[in-house]
Each structure stands twice: as C-alpha cells, then as structure tokens.
Amino acid sequence: MSEGTRVLVLNAGSSSVKYQLIDMLDGSRQASGLVERIGEPAGRLVHTPPGGQRRESLQAFPDHGAALKAVAGELAADGLDLDSPELAAIGHRVVHGGLRFTEPTLVTDEVLAEIRRLIPVAPLHNPANITGIEVARALRPDLPQVAVFDTAFHTGMPEHAARYAIDRQVADEHRVRRYGFHGTSHQYVSRATARLLGKDPAEVNVIVLHLGNGGSASAVAGGRCVETSMGLTPLEGLVMGTRSGDVDAGVVFHLHRVGGLSVDEIDDLLNRRSGLLGLCGDNDMREILRRSEEGDADARLAFEVYVHRLRKYIGAYYAVLGRVDAIAFTAGVGENAAPVRAAATAGLEALGIAVDPALNSIRSDRARVISPEFLRTGGAPRVTVAVVPTDEELEIARQAFALVRTGA
C-alpha cells in the first residue's frame, strides 16, 4: 500500500474536467484547475499551482484522455508528478450510484460495469464520470481509484420519503424512485454545522440548503439524511439557475399534447431554459440582485419565486424533522447572497427562525452563525441559522483517503 498522503480529486463532466490535488496531512490544496470545451476545436486549461499565479493554456483537447495528460503535465511542471509515490489515490465524483453504492467504493471492472448499468437513470452525468475513471485508470493503473457518489448520503432515506406514489411495479421495473443528489455536500455541511454548534452530528437536526447553479435542500436527523428535494433526476425540488424544480407532471403532457413539443424539447426546456433563466433571462443570482435593485420587475419576480420555493421547503423540512437545531446555507448563492438568506427566513420568528441583518451582511469564507443571539420565539426553540461553506472536493478526498488507508 502506498504511504502517500495526496489525493487527486477528479470531477469529469461531458466536456470538462475539474481537479484538485489535496494533501490529506492538513487538507491543503496543492493545485487545482479546470479543463473546458473538451472535444471542441478551442479548449482551455486553467491551472492554479500552490501559492497562486494561475496559468491558462488555450489548445484543443480531443478527448478526456488528452485533457488529463495535459493536467498531468501542468502538475509535473510544479513538481507534483502524478507518478509520485506521494499520490495515494484518485477520488472521482460520480453522480448516480443507484441503490447499490451507499459508500465510497474502490473501482474494479465490476464496479465500473455497475456504474455503466445506471446510465439510463443518469444519462447526462454517469457517462462522463465513467470516462473520467477510465482515463485516470489508464494513466495510473496501479493506483487505487475511488468512486464517491452524489447519491450515497441519501440512500438511507426512509422508504416513505424515497417512494413516488405511482404504481409500484412500474416504478420498480424502471428503478423510478427519489435518489437525491449533492449528497457529498449535504453530508459535509451537516457535519460542519454540528461542529459549529459544538455538538456531535448524532445529536443535531439540520436543514441544509445547497444553493448553487443547481440547488437542493435536505433534512438531516442525527447525521442521517431523512429527506431531500431532488428525486429520480436533479430536476425536482428548488428553483435553480436553469432548472424549474417542482412542476406538476401534467405540465409535461400539456406541453406535448397541446403545445406540440417533443419529449426532448420539454427535457431541454425544464432542465436548461427554466428556473431563474426562464423567469428573467439571467441565471446568475448576482445579476438578478443587481437588476432587482434597479427596479427590474422580471428579475424581482424571479427572486420572489426562488425564495418562495425555498421557504416552502424550510417549512416542510421543519415538519419532517419535528425539531430543527440549525439551518445551513451553502454553495455559491447560499454562501454569498445575503438577500436570499434574509428573504428565505423573514417572518419565521414564531418557528424560532431569524437572521440578524448585521451578521448576515458580513462577508467571510468561514462557517458562521447569522441568527441573533436573543430571539423572541413565542415558545419555539431557537434555531441557529448559519452560513457553512461547502467543500465537496475535500470531502471526496477524505472519503477516498479513508478507504485506501483503513479499508473503511
């Protein structure tokens, strides 16, 4: 077994690869970067070595193999050779692990075949994740490759939360159920929130609001996920950058039968042209906040629809958990957009929920409490509202490292 302490984390998309090299001795980033537009004539690699000074190279990367070789070249130029015995494992983000993968898993041919078998339920993501694993294996066949699944944290959800109320035979035949995504982030943030409260994760109930380009909420009871807002695919739940989140399934039939749209067109509409983008033409919350301040009615409505959905989920998950110790905002919007945090929690004092305007407006990249120290709750227990930066790469690296070091 390697005595190395570094883990390379790879997040392979259909035309991109994000990577980070992390030293597990102290969790420090040795390097990070991104290859974009793989398979297109003009690709781009942005690499940030230890200590800053990012380097950009513009060239074509015909496939993921070429992209990873270029990444290896950049790392070698910084003395971070991928052949080095310092490297203990490569950790891969894999979006869909179905019901089989409940833990980080050492990649074997059989595991790869099983991830491939899940492509019908994750057609947009799993093929790229598989390619990432294959090219990394080709580069370092001797090294443990560990798959860390976005769905894993949610596999323990109770059956009544995971089931859609549709014909069971049909559902089972086609593996239609609520899987949930962003699990690595929900797991990391719920634990970090417990730490912020100075408690053991087993003692606390947390609502995690992961608000990035994609967005999802989860209810975590004593360290275990009991409900999450994404379902069979990452389309269900909150309003997102370009995804609608919850819609009546009848909308699909209506658009097909009455609107004449094909299934592929509706898929594209709900996944790529809806959400904030569909409502106001922008999917970046910064832009929406700016336009709203200038009095733009479309941007204001997009903000209100987004926040209204969020409040519904906070209320629903409060009822699911019964007792809520903390609400944690995370990811790009959750960590940075103070107006979203304020609006999502406004008027909920009777539930013990409030945000202190001064604390909410502080900018920081650290986990922090933003609820007031004293709150008139009308008898409800006080809920700590917090901003807790997520770090999916560190969590993937930790899980991969733990697996190769201890086999657990």
Q: What are the catalytic residues?
A: 150
Q: Is 333 in the site for ligand ADP (CB under 6 A)?
A: yes
Q: Site for ligand ADP (CB under 6 A): how many residues?
A: 12
213 is in an annotated binding site: yes
Site for ligand ADP in 267-326 (CB under 6 A): 284-286
- Candidates 160, 151, 161; CA nearest to 186 is 151
334 is in an annotated binding site: yes
Show the beta-strand stretches assigned E in 212-319: 215-221, 224-228
Q: Which is nearer to ligand ADP, 132 or 223 (CB)?
A: 132
Cα dihedral 276, 279, 280, 283, rounded to 10, equals 20
Q: Which residue's CB atom is positioned nearest to ligand ADP? A: 332
Binder among 270, 337, 353, 387 for ligand ADP (CB under 6 A): 337
392 is in an annotated binding site: yes
Q: Which is nearer to ligand ADP, 230 or 351 (CB)?
A: 230
Smallest distance, ligand ADP to C-beta of residue 332, A: 2
Distance CA 302, CA 282 (A): 9
Tokens of residue 69, six digits: 């070789």
193-202 b/e (C-beta count within 10 Å ≥ 16 → b):
bbebbeeebe
Smallest distance, ligand ADP to C-beta of residue 11, A: 10
Binder among 332, 368, 402, 405 for ligand ADP (CB under 6 A): 332
State the sign of the Cα–Cα–Cα–Cα dihedral 114, 120, 121, 124: positive
- State residue 32 phi and psi, 5-degree precision: -150, 160
* In contact, 342 and 289? CB cutoff 8 Å: no
Q: Which is nearer to ligand ADP, 195 or 286 (CB)?
A: 286
Binder among 105, 336, 384, 399 for ligand ADP (CB under 6 A): 336
- State residue 245 phi and psi, 5-degree precision: 70, -155
Question: Which DSSP string do the residues of 125-192 spell out, in sequence order?
Answer: THHHHHHHHHHHHHH-TTS-EEEEETTGGGTTS-HHHH--SS-HHHHHHTT-S---S-HHHHHHHHHH
- State residue 68 phi and psi, 5-degree precision: -70, -35
Q: Which is nearer to ligand ADP, 67 or 238 (CB)?
A: 238
Cα three-residue angle 43-48-49, rounded to 5 degrees: 130
Distance CA 219, CA 327 (A): 9
322 is in an annotated binding site: no
307 is in an annotated binding site: no
160 is in an annotated binding site: no
Binder among 72, 75, 331, 355 for ligand ADP (CB under 6 A): 331
Q: Which is nearer to ligand ADP, 43 or 275 (CB)?
A: 275
126 is in an annotated binding site: no
Q: Is 217 in the site for ligand ADP (CB under 6 A)?
A: no
Q: Is 180 in the site for ligand ADP (CB under 6 A)?
A: no
Q: Which is nearer to ligand ADP, 292 or 336 (CB)?
A: 336
Smallest distance, ligand ADP to C-beta of residue 188, A: 13
3-state secondary structure of 398: helix
Binder among 183, 214, 231, 352 for ligand ADP (CB under 6 A): 214
Distances (CA, A) of 171 to 165, 179, 232, 270: 9, 13, 11, 22
Q: Which is nearer to ligand ADP, 66 or 342 (CB)?
A: 342
Q: What count of other Cβ atoms lies within 10 Å of the Cβ of residue 262?
A: 10
Distance CA 93, CA 27 (A): 18
Q: Is 213 in the site for ligand ADP (CB under 6 A)?
A: yes
* Segment interacting with ligand ADP, rule: CB under 6 A, options 62-70, 92-100, 107-115, 328-336: 328-336
Site for ligand ADP in 370-399 (CB under 6 A): none
Distances (CA, A) of 90 to 135, 177, 332: 11, 30, 26
Smallest distance, ligand ADP to C-beta of residue 216, A: 10
11 is in an annotated binding site: yes
Q: Is 234 in the site for ligand ADP (CB under 6 A)?
A: no
Distance CA 221, CA 111 (A): 30
335 is in an annotated binding site: yes
Contact positions toward ligand ADP, by CB under 6 A? 212-214, 241, 284-286, 331-333, 336-337
- State the binding site for Mg(2+): 11, 392
- State the binding site for substrate: 93
